Amino acid sequence: KVNGIEFAVADLSLAESGRHQMRLAEQEMPGLMATRREFAEAQPLKGARVAGSLHMTVQTAVLIETLVALGADVRWVSCNVFSTQDEAAAAVVVGPDGTPEEPTGTPVFAWKGETLEDYWWCTDQLFQFADGLGPNMVVDDGGDATMLVHKGVEFEAAGAVPAPTDDDDADEYKIVLATLARSLAEDAGRFTRIAAAIKGVTEETTNGVKRLYKLAADGTLLFPAINVNDSVTKSKFDNKYGIRHSLVDGLNRGTDVMIAGKLAVICGYGDVGKGAAESLRGQGARVVVTEIDPICALQASMEGLDVVALEDVVAKGDIFITTTGNLDIIMAADMARMKHNAIVGNVGHFDNEIDMAGLAKVPGIKKVEIKPQVHEWRFPDGHSVIVLSEGRLMNLGNATGHPSFVMSNSFTNQTMAQIELFTKQGEYDRQVYVLPKHLDEKVARLHLDALGVKLTKLTPKQAEYIGVEVEGPFKTDQYRY
């Protein structure tokens, strides 16, 4: 704690560099900055205590300062052990007017290269606002903060934390259990009180949204949720065009291997998979896709991509990227069959797409660190595979994630969703909602001028003919874009 601000970041002296990068990012985030201006006076988030668990990047720094500008009291952590940009974390703590010696910004608990113990310690810090208070709003990415609250409440009701099992895949869960056991020992009603105070969560990504819908279906969701991911201006932009930019960035910074001419295998052809395929095709790779869903498989085929089974290309591929949000996609036995120095990376939210635990257990295997977040795994037969970011999101671990402009779309949705849930308490049930279409269209509209886009305006006659209002919304909720 310095100057009354709690934090745990790598190095506050990086703040100046972070601030310069934020300045450039602000210019590239027209929607988010317009939202900041629109609501600065009204202060709709006054009284909100926002706990944010979302990659602590430069773009997120601009989001944090937007929430603060709208009146919120904020604490922040990253939702991934490798995704923090240390200079952004430092800049947020120091604040626009502070110095590293006298920070005046926002509490952040995040650094690049956390251990899993660090990660869950940081996540626990989210819930410790000043004066013994917890948050009353959550911004989540992947659902870890929401999960901690729900498990905390569950175990407090049971009066005990279950004993960890011996299942190796549950290593991280054991740390969650230990975190909650400590909390329970100190204060057996802590998470129950925290959950009761939370007015809502706004969730950023596909995997987190899946967790929320499951809680809602089970009837165990403890507060209302807005699914930000499924705003059209989020998933059809960030997941696709964001990854189109940051996947190739991560590959280049991690390996600098020539992508042109290589055989690239993309597992999953959803929104992220579509962006990944374009990213590598744009570099001249020969791209093939694996899918389980006939619709997405047909889409890939119509784009001229071969849709294959992994086992048929595993020995031929040069670059393997998982984008499924599912588990057990590339197993140790697959990597055992790969070409020498094949590159394996994941951009799905969790690290269980690639069987890292199985890889570490291959008899005689050796792990060589080429540089942080780039490892050569040498099999006893002499061939190696290069694994990026230890199987975690490589576009954030090996690069800096999506660029500002696309994140402006995502974070304008986030900000609107926070305002919506915080200012309309009582209007939302313990269910999962998406933002209304007119707000989705507004997010897009806020980004048009910067790109020199000139919209055609409907005439009243045309609007009536297609059954919409002149000012929109222009599509039904069923429209798929």
Compute the distance between CA of residue 93 and CA of residue 12 in angstroms, rounded to an integer.
8
Peptide bond before residue 96 is cis, with ω within 30 degrees of 0: no
Compute the distance between CA of residue 261 and CA of residue 238 in angstroms, rounded to an integer.
27
3-state DSSP: the chain helix, strand, coil percent, rounded to 5?
Answer: 45, 15, 40
Q: Extract the tokens encoding 346.
A: 């994941």
The CB density around residue 337, as the number of other CB atoms within 10 Å, is 14
Residue placing its CB nearer to ligand NAI in the complex, 272 or 343 = 272
Compute the distance between CA of residue 32 and CA of residue 35 in angstroms, rounded to an integer.
5
The CB density around residue 357, as the number of other CB atoms within 10 Å, is 14
Residue placing its CB nearer to ligand NAI in the complex, 151 or 240 = 240
Q: Tell whether 238 is in a known binding site.
A: yes
Q: Tell whether 230 is in a known binding site.
A: no
Residue placing its CB nearer to ligand NAI in the complex, 15 or 289 = 289
Q: Cβ-closest residue to ligand NAI?
A: 270
Least distance between ligand NAI and beta carbon 80 (Å)? 9
Least distance between ligand NAI and beta carbon 212 (Å)? 12
Residue placing its CB nearer to ligand NAI in the complex, 336 or 407 = 407
Q: Tell whether 204 is in a known binding site.
A: yes
Residue placing its CB nearer to ligand NAI in the complex, 171 or 293 = 293
Strand (E) positions, 303-444? 306-307, 319-322, 342-346, 366-371, 374-378, 384-388, 432-433
Q: Tell whether 402 is in a known binding site.
A: yes
Q: Tell whether 274 is in a known binding site.
A: yes
Least distance between ligand NAI and beta carbon 109 (Å)? 21
Q: Tell whether 317 is in a known binding site.
A: no
What is the chain's alpha carbon radius of gyration, rounded to the nearest angstrom?
23
**Residue 137 dihedral angles phi and psi, to the nearest 5°:** -140, 150
Least distance between ligand NAI and beta carbon 96 (Å)? 27
Q: Extract the tokens encoding 323.
A: 């984008």
Residues in contact with ligand NAI by CB under 6 A are 205-207, 235, 238-239, 243, 267-273, 290-293, 296, 323-326, 329, 347-349, 393, 395, 401-402
What angle separates helix 404-423 from helix 437-445, to the nearest 10 degrees? 140
**Is the dihedral angle over the CA atoms 45, 48, 53, 58 positive or is it negative?**
positive
124, 176 Cβ separation under 8 angstroms = no
Residue placing its CB nearer to ligand NAI in the complex, 94 or 300 = 300
Compute the distance between CA of residue 130 and CA of residue 227 in angstroms, rounded to an integer.
28
Least distance between ligand NAI and beta carbon 347 (Å)? 4
Residue placing its CB nearer to ligand NAI in the complex, 119 or 237 = 237
Q: Tell whether 3 is in a known binding site.
A: no
Which among 288, 284, 396, 393 is positioned nearest to 345, based on CA atoms? Answer: 393
Q: Tell whether 273 is in a known binding site.
A: yes
Residue placing its CB nearer to ligand NAI in the complex, 214 or 340 = 214
Least distance between ligand NAI and beta carbon 402 (Å)? 6
Q: Extract the tokens encoding 381.
A: 């037969």
What residue has token string 């409907």?
458
Least distance between ligand NAI and beta carbon 438 (Å)? 23
Least distance between ligand NAI and beta carbon 354 (Å)? 12
Compute the distance between CA of residue 101 and CA of residue 88 in angstroms, rounded to an integer.
17
Q: Tell whether 141 is in a known binding site.
A: yes
Non-local CB neighbours of 479 within 8 Å, separated by 6+ positions: none
Residue placing its CB nearer to ligand NAI in the complex, 227 or 323 = 323
3-state secondary structure of 437: helix
Q: Tell whether 328 is in a known binding site.
A: no
Which among 113, 108, 66 is positioned nearest to 88, based on CA atoms? Answer: 108
3-state secondary structure of 434: coil
Please report, for residues 198, 286, 291, 292, 315, the alpha-carbon distance to residue 312 in angstroms, rounded to integers and kept in the order given: 49, 15, 13, 15, 7
Compute the distance between CA of residue 204 and CA of residue 412 in angstroms, rounded to an integer.
11
396, 231 Cβ separation under 8 angstroms = no
Q: Tell whether 268 is in a known binding site.
A: yes
Q: Tell whether 409 is in a known binding site.
A: no
Q: Extract the tokens encoding 462.
A: 């045309």
Q: Tell whether 173 is in a known binding site.
A: no
Residue placing its CB nearer to ligand NAI in the complex, 156 or 238 = 238
Residue placing its CB nearer to ligand NAI in the complex, 84 or 239 = 239
Least distance between ligand NAI and beta carbon 289 (Å)? 8
Least distance between ligand NAI and beta carbon 246 (Å)? 6
Least distance between ligand NAI and beta carbon 462 (Å)? 33
Q: Tell whether 271 is in a known binding site.
A: yes
Q: Which residues are annotated as a binding site?
A: 57, 141, 204, 234, 238-239, 268-275, 291, 326, 395, 402
Binding residues for NAD(+): 239, 268-275, 291, 326, 395, 402
Annotated binding site for substrate: 57, 141, 204, 234, 238
